[in-house]
Amino acid sequence: MNSPHTLYIGVSTKMYMGYARSLAWLEQLVAEVDSRPALAAGRVVPFVIPSFPVLPAAAGLTAGSPLVLGAQNCGWSDGPWTGEVAPSMLAELGVGLVEIGHAERRRYFAEDDAVVALKVGAAVESGLAPLLCVGEAEECAPEAAAEIVFHQIKAAVSGDWSLAARLVVAYEPVWAIGAPEPASAEYVSMVVGTLRSALAQHGLAELPVIYGGSAKPGLLPRLSGVSGLFLGRFAHDAANFGRVLDEALALTN
């Protein structure tokens, strides 16, 4: 999935929708994607991450569409792990990427850097692209935020920078998740720019780094050096997802 200058536009439902509503919304999302033939060129990659029970039906709905299917989490292997979902099973279902290390998983489910690293390795081994969620807990100077994020990425790949090349990084300042407004475009651009300078020392200056945290239409054109948006509740209106796709397509023309 990784390619220089590709923009990624995605959305997660978290646990906001029931089963029937999820499927109805997915149909609307697929319609938004399929009504934009320019997406077939691959310069803009749309993805959707519904809850686990929806994945088999979602795979059918997205078949033949440019819309990449993702999962909200995974276990670190198959085997005796009651209640977990192995990345190998996700791959069987047609999942292309898996969200790992979201701030809610870290905070409420006590997932530390070691657990995140296990999941990243397992996802890559199963052929999935890890969507690695990183971000500082409190607003700080952009340089300080970039250093925190850099060390989170390093920990997630256990210092193996060749593994990092398989990532899509979702930069989500924890303080901006669920906020009325996203972090300012200037702040995000400065954090990502500083992060890219650090990643460049490992040959990863063009690693996809997308922004999440109350992201909404109108933000993407104001960002610099950012590889797309990871949307939340604002894209639970499928038309808003379409608006952001149009912004991304305009930027890639």
- The set of catalytic residues is 102, 172
Alpha helix locations (H) across 11-112? Answer: 19-34, 55-62, 87-92, 103-108
Read out DSSP for 101-141?
Answer: --HHHHHHS---HHHHHHHHHHHHHTTPEEEEEE--SS---
> Using an 8 Å Cβ cutoff, are 85 and 100 in contact?
no
The DSSP output letter for 221 is G
> Using an 8 Å Cβ cutoff, are 220 and 231 in contact?
no
> Using an 8 Å Cβ cutoff, are 204 and 246 in contact?
no
Rounded Cα distance between 59 and 227, Å, is 25
